[in-house]
Structure 1
Amino acid sequence: MNAFTSFAAATTAAAVLAIGLAGGATAAGHTPSAHDGVTERAAASGTAPACIERTSVTNKPEGGVRVHLRNFCGRTMHVKVVVKNWSDSGCKSMPNGSGWLFQTVGGRYDRTVVC
């Protein structure tokens, strides 16, 4: 395992721990998980987790963006690139370990979200 793989695994573990702590346990002692959809629905409107690596470049002076995403989450993720003053990407399914390049001819990169 190289340093990057170790970092990605640690980041994923920290994200899972943070979701578990934020979700809390129910009265029956059950902590919501991605398997019961509670965590999925809560995350669906938010920024993509750190295990989705983002590299973005804004083209100047003509505008436009290039965003390269890579999925190190350990499972398939559904993500969307949000662009200011331009059309967003739409929802993209990314299997674990895959990458995706999204480009526009206008606008500015805003953020990557789960969808």
Structure 2
Amino acid sequence: MAAEKLTRGRFVQIIIMLTLLVTVFIWRTVTFTEPQILECNLKPNCAFSVKNERFNAQKLEDRVVIQKPSNNWTIKPQNSALKIIENESSWEVYPEPDSEFEISFSDLEQTNLAGVKFRI
């Protein structure tokens, strides 16, 4: 196979594939956005915005309640031991007492839009 002559069809195929790969690489590089990292100091409330939607977080006795602006959002804890209960209009997060925790927010269109570090 290595001794075969490079035909015009094979050469065109190689050029098309290289052009496609370079185009995809440039497109992904140009459209890449770094996820936001926000800080929320719960004393006892805080508010933050992600993609022009406002989230409110409130520290209650043993949990943190985060109000949803709409049902288009999902959250994912950075620590898998964090307990999260999703309600119709909010999430209830049960962190370790007096500790920090981080949650990633994402909408239906993008993944991992923003990370929020909560400080109690």
TM-score normalized with structure 1 length: 0.25
Larger Rg: 2
